[in-house]
Structure 1
Amino acid sequence: MNHAVISTIEGPIAWVKLNRPERLNAMNRQLVDGLSEALAAAEADEGVRAIILHGEGRAFCSGDDLKDLDAQTASEAETQDWVEAIQAVTLQIMQSRKIVIAAVHGWCVGGALEWVINCDFRLFAEKTRWFFPEVTYGLFVTGGVTALLTKQVGPQVTKELLILGERHDAQKALEVGIAWKIVADDGLLDEARQLALTIATRPSAAVADVKRAINDGFHSSLEDAMAQETAATVRGFLSPEAQAKAKEF
């Protein structure tokens, strides 16, 4: 049984917790595979409307567990498989029809920070610290952030964050748009819960369509975006749930 990630269901919410606190929830294969399994299970559960991703202990996630990664013994095929497993989680988050909320505290580093950027809403606790160490180590980022960050914060800030790799606080995350909101450390999970419950009151199909159109819009042309909008709007107009809410309004 995989204990590196623990998933529980609370009404319309799937709580997905990174659970290697003795290693600050650092990413090893067990954690990456466990997260992928938890996200797949939440996606398949029709009752789940939002997923809250958070970490046990003193950190959200301290990035790759360098203790478990040894370039001296890993083959090219094994390394390729490892990176593709990390990238697969990005696709699960961004292509999910559920809203994924990141509740971030403590350290949030590297690949885990990239997963956070993939999430739909990012709540940062006041004492959160974060940075991208990869380029400093001669490595490279994942999670599509070279495209996502460039369009969110601009090429100059993206180069600052990725190339310089400096450590930042929660306020910096808010200023550059990585954090959606800063909350008190002891109120982080309650704030995430309330956000998830609010999302759960919205029509599920409309929420999923908006998420997909916005995420795809990062890379699509105007024509592609409008085609997706048209299809989604037609589905909305034909939805009895949407019609009932519009009449109520």
Structure 2
Amino acid sequence: MTGTILTEDAGDGVRIVTLNRPHRLNAIVPELLDDLNHALEAADRDPAIRAIVLTGAGRAFCSGDDLKDFGTQAADEPGTRAYIERIQDVTRNLVLGDTPIIGAIRGWAVGGGLEWVINCDFAIAAEGTRFFFPEIAWGVFVTGGVSELLPRLVGLQRARELIMLGERFDAAQAREWGLVYKVVPDATLRDEALNLARRIAALPVGPVRDLRRILARRDALAPAMAAETDATVRGFLDPATAARIGAFK
């Protein structure tokens, strides 16, 4: 662990996992991916942990991929593919693990951060939270099983709107569309997430685990994620993508 993730046991079978790069709005870098996967796997192996609260330090949940590292991430095909698979591993741990995930979301949830919101069993958003997918505009692609999961939640047409057009939306819209479970004042976000996590942690483990496995629909999710990985690698290696991101930076 390199300090990009903090963990805290909150009692009653609940562990809080916090993205901890607040100076970069918890943007994604390889170290954060490694630490997050490690933290999620450790919680899933621990029989005392029956629910996880996933949140972000500071004023954002996660602002997506850290563009300052794009040159390294897109240096060559094997390295890029390995990096994208580490991103996909987070979704595998969130969606296919046995431990329910409750998101406590504030500030920005962008790109990969929004994907992780969608991966949660329940996401609770603070009132000022903002969301969008910037990937297509950069020339890359979504990951996180979003190509399979998002149409289930919001329908095919709105999924196209959000992914292809990158439309920004707020917490109230996210609640209306079924992307988040509840919208609460920022001051009560942690307590609301912990209360829900404790409620879930008190349920019988077996049925909760079985429900998560059935709803995950692994047979549909796995090929969608493989196709996402291929599309994302192509986008990362496209010189036009590097030009767009270079101009932005």
Q: Quickly name the TM-score band, shorter chain normalised.
A: 0.7 to 0.9
Partner of 1:162: 163
Counterpart contact for 1:123–1:183, Cα < 8 Å: yes
In the TM superposition, structure 1's runs of 4+ consecutive aligned residues that sit over 3 Å from their partners are: 217-220
The code of the aligned residue for 1:66 comes to L
TM-score, reference length from structure 2: 0.85
Question: RMSD of the alignment, in Å?
Answer: 1.5
Partner of 1:104: 105
The CA distance in 2 between the partners of 1:22 and 1:139, in whole Å, is: 25
The code of the aligned residue for 1:57 comes to G
Report the 3-state secondary structure (helix = DSSP H, G, I; strand = E; otherwise coil) of the residue aligned with 1:54: strand
Partner of 1:40: 41
Q: Structure 1: give runs of 5+ residues left out of the alignment.
A: 221-249
The CA distance in 2 between the partners of 1:121 and 1:218, in whole Å, is: 22
Query: Which whole-Å deviations, capped at 9, do the CAs of 1:198-230 have from their partners, x for residues lacking one?
Result: 11111111111111112228839xxxxxxxxxx
The code of the aligned residue for 1:6 comes to L
Partner of 2:55: 54
Partner of 1:79: 80
Counterpart contact for 2:73–2:83, Cα < 8 Å: no
The CA distance in 2 between the partners of 1:24 and 1:93, in whole Å, is: 21
Counterpart contact for 2:73–2:79, Cα < 8 Å: no
Q: Structure 2: give runs of 5+ residues left out of the alignment.
A: 222-249
Partner of 1:7: 7
Identify if the C-alpha distance between structure 1 residues 73 and 155 changes in structure 2 by more than 3 Å, giving closer, same or farther: closer
What is the CA-CA distance between 1:176 and the residue it aligns to? 1.4
Query: Which whole-Å deviations, capped at 9, do the CAs of 1:12-32 have from their partners, x for residues lacking one?
Result: 111100000000100000111
The code of the aligned residue for 1:25 comes to N
1:207 matches 2:208: yes
Larger Rg: 1
The CA distance in 1 between the partners of 2:77 and 2:156, in whole Å, is: 31
